[in-house]
């Protein structure tokens, strides 16, 4: 079980639980490890690692720390600068990089940040590699049949170089544009960029496809990412679409791997989702074309190996134009049950979720709901929280059952 890397990378409050020293060590290990793998295959060229970041103030600090670690270990660092998570995954795959790194805490507040590691296939880094990174951070690395108390530094001509690779980001934009099979001419589209990674990408794509594009929250200043903006605050886009008389709206999160859709009436109707490595692993194993999770990602495996908010918005536009129907009409058959979600801050999220009394309470709720609803209790991958969600035909039923489970968690002494 990973100590630092959760379901969405190594995430924490910048300068407190995730520091520049952590980033430097991640870079040191990855640069050394991928060079070692190349050498074992008879390849003397330096490892190539591509890095992207979102608009948080701390992202530059982590970028420079990662680059220092990578180049000190003899790897070359290619910088995409401010870009989206799916763009890093795309470039890592198509441009034959050893791995990719995205600096972002996704939908979290600006003071959080994260380091997401992506393999050469554009997928989330395998668990066994993440565990090696963690072992190096903790000073107990054992790999290649040897204990490594410290890693060797590169010297002379073997020190890595840094490459400005904004061309890679432009290549990703061109790829998205190439997926458009319909002209968006005459369609008024609203985009909420969350003052995050999509601020200088999404509008370029929609403009190139002919849309009349209206954008909000596209002026990042380092501290306003996700603040009353983007997929975590859909109300802003709802109001914007109605006020401007737009045909449709799309809201992205901080690193633009999520997309929420708003129809022309301002009704948020669907949380498209993917990104979690477990969803993608299942899709790959079973040959699925589309996979999602409610948190706000969707994977189209034909076009991408990760959730991609801008790609999702393009596919939604494609359906509207193909069916010649507005979003509200397309969404009309969808019945959404009320949900109540409560995040409980706990002292030990694994112990709380695995407690027999808590599990018994969850089971009792599931049996009471039967086929009329569902309960989902899970630990946050990035925060000390247990999330309790109930979906049922009415709000009062949802709240009642959420309270029952939360009360047990508190009674057992897990609440922080």
**Choosing from 59, 65, 73, 106, which is the catalytic residue?**
106
pLDDT at position 270, please?
Answer: 43
Q: Which of 233, 9, 251 is nearest to 113 (CA)?
A: 9
305 among known catalytic residues:
no
Q: Could you tell me whether strands 248-252 and 141-143 are parallel, antiparallel, or unpaired per DSSP bridges?
A: unpaired
Verify that 147 and 13 share a domain, yes or no. Answer: yes
pLDDT in tens, 167-204: 999 999 999 999 988 999 999 999 999 999 999 999 99
Specify whether the CB–CB gap between 136 and 148 falls below 8 A: yes
Top-confidence residue, 131 or 301: 131
Longest dimension (CA), the chain: 69
Q: Which two tokens stand for residue 383?
A: 């925060």
Verify that 218 and 275 share a domain, yes or no. Answer: yes
pLDDT at position 379, please?
Answer: 83
- Look at phi and psi of residue 410 and say left if phi exceeds 0, alpha if psi is from -120 to 50, else beta: alpha
- Cα 328 from chain centroid (whole Å): 27
Q: To which H or E segment does residue 333 belong?
A: none
Confidence of residue 293 (pLDDT cuts 50, 70, 90): low
Q: Is residue 416 part of a domain?
A: no
pLDDT at position 308, please?
Answer: 79
Confidence of residue 273 (pLDDT cuts 50, 70, 90): very low
Verify that 389 and 264 share a domain, yes or no. Answer: no
Question: Which CATH number belongs to the domain containing residue 407 in this structure?
Answer: 3.30.310.50
pLDDT in tens, 121-175: 999 999 999 999 999 999 999 999 999 999 999 999 999 999 999 999 999 999 9
Q: Is residue 361 part of a domain?
A: yes
Q: Is residue 377 part of a domain?
A: yes
pLDDT at position 290, please?
Answer: 59
Weakest-pLDDT range from 25-34, 226-235, 281-290, 321-330 = 281-290
Mean pLDDT (whole number) for 209-232:
96
Structural domain boundaries enclosing 403:
339-411
Q: Is residue 174 part of a domain?
A: no
Verify that 131 and 219 share a domain, yes or no. Answer: no
Whole-structure pTM value: 0.78
Q: Which of 31, 37, 35 is nearest to 50 (CA)?
A: 31
| Residue at a domain's end among 331, 362, 395 | 331
| Residue at a domain's end among 269, 303, 331 | 331
Q: State the average pLDDT for the chain.
A: 89
Q: Which of 212, 224, 219, 218 is nearest to 251 (CA)?
A: 218
State the total domains in the chain: 3
Verify that 138 and 241 share a domain, yes or no. Answer: no
Q: Is residue 85 part of a domain?
A: yes
pLDDT at position 286, please?
Answer: 58
Verify that 317 and 374 share a domain, yes or no. Answer: no
User: 240 Cβ partners below 8 Å, 6+ apart?
Assistant: 190, 192, 214, 216, 246, 249
pLDDT at position 332, please?
Answer: 78
pLDDT at position 226, please?
Answer: 95
Verify that 18 and 160 share a domain, yes or no. Answer: yes
Weakest-pLDDT range from 1-15, 31-45, 117-131, 232-246 = 1-15
Verify that 61 and 20 share a domain, yes or no. Answer: yes
Question: Which CATH number belongs to the domain containing residue 101 in this structure?
Answer: 3.40.120.10
Verify that 267 and 290 share a domain, yes or no. Answer: yes
Q: Which two tokens stand for residue 404?
A: 């029952």
| Residue at a domain's end among 169, 200, 215 | 169
pLDDT in tens, 49-75: 999 999 999 999 999 999 999 999 999
Verify that 11 and 153 share a domain, yes or no. Answer: yes
Give ∠ CA 152-46-175 in degrees, rounded to 5. 135
């Amino acid at each position: 079980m990973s100590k630092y890397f959760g379901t969405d990378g190594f995430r924490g409050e910048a300068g407190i639980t995730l520091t520049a020293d952590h980033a430097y060590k991640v870079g040191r290990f990855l640069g050394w490890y991928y060079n070692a793998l190349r050498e074992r295959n008879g390849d003397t060229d330096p490892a190539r690692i591509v890095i992207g970041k979102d608009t948080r103030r701390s992202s530059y600090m982590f970028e420079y720390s990662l680059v220092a670690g990578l180049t000190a270990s003899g790897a070359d660092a290619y910088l995409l600068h401010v870009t989206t998570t799916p763009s890093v995954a795309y470039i890592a795959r198509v441009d034959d990089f050893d791995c990719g790194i995205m600096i972002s805490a996704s939908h979290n507040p600006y003071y959080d940040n994260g380091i997401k590691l992506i393999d050469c296939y554009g997928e989330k880094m395998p668990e066994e590699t993440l565990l090696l990174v963690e072992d190096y951070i903790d000073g107990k690395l054992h790999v290649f049949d040897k204990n490594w108390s410290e890693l060797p530094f590169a010297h002379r001509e073997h020190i890595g170089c840094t490459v400005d690779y904004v061309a890679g980001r432009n290549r990703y934009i061109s790829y998205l544009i190439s997926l458009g099979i319909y002209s968006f001419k005459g369609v008024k589209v609203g985009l909420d960029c969350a003052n995050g990674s999509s601020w200088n990408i999404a509008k370029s794509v929609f403009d190139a496809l002919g849309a009349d594009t209206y954008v909000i929250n596209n002026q990042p200043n380092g501290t306003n990412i996700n603040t009353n903006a983007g997929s975590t605050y859909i109300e802003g886009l709802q109001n914007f679409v109605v006020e401007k008389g737009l045909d449709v709206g799309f809201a992205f999160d901080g690193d633009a791997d999520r997309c929420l859709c708003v129809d022309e009436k301002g009704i948020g109707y669907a949380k498209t989702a993917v990104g979690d490595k477990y969803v993608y692993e299942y899709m790959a194993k079973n040959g699925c074309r589309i996979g999602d999770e409610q948190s706000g990602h969707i994977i189209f495996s034909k076009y991408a190996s990760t959730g991609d908010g801008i790609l999702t918005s393009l596919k939604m536009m494609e359906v509207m134009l193909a069916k010649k129907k507005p979003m509200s009409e397309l969404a009309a058959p969808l019945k959404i049950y009320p949900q109540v979600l409560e995040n409980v801050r706990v002292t030990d999220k694994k112990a709380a979720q695995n407690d027999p009394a808590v599990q018994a309470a969850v089971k009792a709720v599931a049996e009471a709901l039967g086929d009329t609803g569902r309960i989902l209790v899970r630990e946050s991958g990035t925060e000390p929280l247990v999330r309790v969600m109930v979906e049922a035909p009415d709000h009062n039923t949802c709240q009642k059952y959420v309270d029952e489970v939360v009360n047990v968690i508190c009674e057992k002494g897990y609440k922080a």
